[in-house]
Amino acid sequence: MMMRKGKQVSTLKPKLLTTMKNYSKEQFISDVTAGIIVAIIALPLSIALAIASGVSPEKGLHTAIIAGFLISLLGGSRVQIGGPTGAFMVIVYGIVTKFGISGLMTATVMAGMIMIVMGLLKMGGIIKYIPFPITTGFTSGIAAVIFSSQIKDFLGLTIEKVPADFIGQWKVYFQSFSGFDLTTASIGLLALLIIIYWPKVNRKIPGALIALIITSALVSFLDLPVATIGSKFGKLSSALPQLQKLDISVEMIRMLIGPAFTIAILGSIESLLSAVVSDGMIGGKHRSNMELIAQGIANMASGLFGGIPATGAIARTVANIKNGGRTPVAGMVHALTLLLIMLLFMPLAQMVPLTSLAAVLIIVAYNMSEWRQFLGIFKSTKSDTIVLLATFFVTVLIDLVKAIEIGVVLSSFLFMKRMAEVSNINVTMMDASEEILETEDEVAVKENIEISESKGIQIYEINGPFFFGAADKFLQAFNRVDHQTKILILRMRNVPAMDGTALNAFKRIMKMASQRKIRILISGINPQPETVLTKAGIYNELGENNFFSDFSDAVQYAKSIS
């Protein structure tokens, strides 16, 4: 018992403490190098995601600095890199549009609290049971929404206000396409091509950064009429973020609880998925519950300082690993490097063309789309395809909150349907010289039981999980029990578990059997169903002498009393 307690405590221990035990100078150099490179990758992404989320550019950097540092300091992964990601863009934009920045801060802090509670309740392992079609569906849906939201800036369309909904956006786009700005679109296309082809020149320096530098220089030196961060947001501040006062009320909490849960669930899924991917690359094992707690603390801190939601970023985490990062020090260096860049070079960000940032996010959307996996699910079952498409279209056409709700509910119903289909009840009448194959001990034992003179013995075999999805089959099968039956053998060797609805059906069968004066014998019952029957008093009501471990013993007993 003491060993088990110690193991539980260790799962809530930050990985930083573990990795520091054998830390070396060589590893420190590798971590610092990786941290600086990842910071350079995170810089344009943080700014672009902030703008696309409906907040000012510096809030993206504030999030990457504060949340990124805390996720590495307290997290359960050796190499996780935290910060703003494209997954949150849709939900953040919706919150800002409806509730303003103060509402976003409150929702982010609430989401952080939810994630901490999830970690303390040891729910890190439960997240992985969310079906793959759901995660693929809403990730691909988010990618489509991100792409759609960037068309205006990429083409330089003169639209005063872009609608928040997908259909509304494209209606406005089609009405305004004839007025797109050729200069803006050309700069955006140049940025897009640089991002795509730069890795063939150099893989260490991110193409997004090179694209922003080149296009910013062109627009500035040639004095091109292209919208920039400065023209839209004015002078950017290099000041450190300040602690903000939250506007909390019962009504605000009630309205934001849904979005907060969405941020928490989405952040948990993405961070733990990133941790699993990184484990496979470094041969490590993350602590999922500690990671959730760290993510929660990081989001609370980000919200309190006016930032946006953060989570583990898969692309940045992979870049960290590929550049030698092996401990949380790399993630902390990444955050500190961003802080230094913000303090020294933030005014230069004003020169960045909005169309170039749109190009960065278009690439982010493409990478998020997971189109190969999306199409691959069509080769799977029909139910998986239905869940995928439902989640995708609800994400795109309605919102992410409803998509997760509908996806989970739909997949649950389809899962129950599949379980009900694999659960079956066989009713067999014992006749002369029936051969019984007993495999409960994985050994085939054939026994010829002559019971031709023993009329009235019937076998009622349940196969598969005995739960509410199969309870109706159980009751219907009883109607097929012969009226001459005096003894009913319930064979339960293939029932791993049963629930309350199945228990109720069991009680109804017992009542009907009693009315028809049918005696019930049970063979091969497993521990969980036996516990359920015992707690319900059915074990004592039937009597211990009516339970048999072997089917052959039950048959022999039935013969003796028939």
The whole-number pLDDT of residue 418 equals: 65
- Average pLDDT of the chain to the nearest whole number: 85
DSSP track, 451-465:
-TT-TTEEEEEEES-
507 belongs to a structural domain? yes
What local confidence, expressed as pLDDT, does residue 483 receive? 76
The pLDDT assigned to 2 comes to 37
Give percent of the chain above pLDDT 70: 89
3-state secondary structure of 165: coil
CATH number for the domain that contains residue 462: 3.30.750.24
Indicate whether 427 and 357 sit together in one domain. Answer: no
Same domain, 332 and 452: no
Position 379 in a domain: no
d(CA 85, CA 521): 59
Q: Is the same domain home to 136 and 269?
A: yes
Same structural domain, 168 and 279: yes
Question: Is 490:522 a contact under the CB 8 Å cutoff?
Answer: yes
Tell me the mean pLDDT in the region 280-309: 95
Cα distances from 559 to residues 326, 365, 491, in angstroms, run: 69, 70, 16
Does residue 561 have a pLDDT over 80? yes
- In this predicted structure, which of 211-225, 244-258, 289-303 has the lowest mean pLDDT? 244-258
Q: Domain total for the chain?
A: 2
Give this prediction's pTM: 0.74
Q: Flag whether 247 is in a domain.
A: yes
Q: Which of left, alpha, beta for 433 (phi over 0: left; psi -120 to 50: alpha)?
A: left
Strand order in the sheet with 519-523: 424-429, 457-463, 487-494, 519-523, 547-548
Please give the C-alpha separations between residue 138 and each of 117, 262, 315, 465, in angstroms, as whole numbers: 24, 12, 18, 30
In a 13 Å sphere around the CA of 300, the CA atoms on its Cβ side amount to 13
When mean pLDDT is compared across 27-36, 53-62, 513-522, the lowest value belongs to 513-522
C-alpha closest to that of 351 among 62, 84, 47, 65: 47
What stretch of H or E contains 330? helix 328-345
Q: Out of 367, 383, 408, pick the residue that ends a domain.
A: 367
Residue 489 is assigned to a structural domain of this protein = yes
Confidence of residue 5 (pLDDT cuts 50, 70, 90): very low
Contacts of 406 (CB under 8 A, 6+ apart): 390, 391, 394
Domain that holds residue 214: 25-367
Domain contains 14: no
User: How do residues 473-504 score in pLDDT, each as one tens digit?
Assistant: 777 777 777 778 888 888 888 888 888 878 88
442 and 556 part of one domain: yes
Q: How sure is the predictor about 9, in pLDDT bands with cuts at 50, 70 and 90? A: very low
> What percent of the chain is predicted at pLDDT more than 90?
47
Give the up-direction half-sphere exposure of residue 411: CA atoms within 13 A in the CB hemisphere.
22
When pLDDT is cut at 50, 70 and 90, the band that residue 426 belongs to is: low
Helices 132-149 and 354-369: angle between axes, nearest 10 degrees: 160
d(CA 556, CA 451): 9
Q: Is residue 395 part of a domain?
A: no
Q: What is the pLDDT, as a whole number, of residue 63?
A: 97
In a domain, 177, yes or no: yes
The DSSP element (H or E) to which 424 belongs, if any, is: strand 424-429
pLDDT at 150: 92
pLDDT of residue 427: 55
Q: Looking at the structure, do residues 331 and 427 belong to the same domain, yes or no? A: no
Burial of residue 24, with CB atoms counted within 10 A of its CB: 0-12 exposed, 13-18 middle, 19 or more buried? exposed
Structure tokens at 436: 């019984």
pLDDT for the residue 154: 95
Among the listed residues 54, 74, 487, the one whose alpha carbon sits nearest the alpha carbon of residue 309: 54
* Tokens coding 219: 């627009």
CA angle 189, 194, 198 (to 5 degrees): 160
Instruction: Compute the Cα dihedral for 108, 109, 115, 119 and give only its sign.
Output: positive
On whether both 104 and 246 belong to a single domain, the answer is yes
Q: Poorest-confidence range of 10-14, 228-232, 327-331? A: 10-14
Structure tokens at 177: 């396409």
- Same domain for 185 and 38: yes
127 and 273, same domain (yes or no): yes
Domain boundary among 367, 397, 432: 367
What confidence tens digit (pLDDT) does each residue in 46-89 have?
999 999 999 999 999 999 999 999 999 999 999 999 999 988 88
Q: Same domain for 137 and 30?
A: yes
Per-residue pLDDT of 431-456, as tens digits, reads: 433 344 444 433 333 333 443 345 68
Whether 329 and 477 map to the same domain: the answer is: no
d(CA 128, CA 271): 11
Listed residue (132, 91, 131, 134) closest to 263, CA to CA: 91
Q: What pLDDT score does 59 carry?
A: 95
Helix ranges restricted to H, 75-131: 89-120
With a cut of 60, say whether residue 353 has pLDDT above it.
Answer: yes
Task: Indicate the residue among 367, 392, 414 that finishes a domain.
Answer: 367
Residue type, 533: L
| Tens digit of each residue's pLDDT (9 = 90 or more) over 300-347 | 999 999 999 999 998 899 999 989 999 999 999 999 999 999 999 888
Q: Is residue 403 part of a domain?
A: no
157-196 residue pLDDT tens: 988 888 878 899 999 999 988 888 999 999 999 999 999 9
In this structure, are 104 and 182 located in the same domain?
Answer: yes
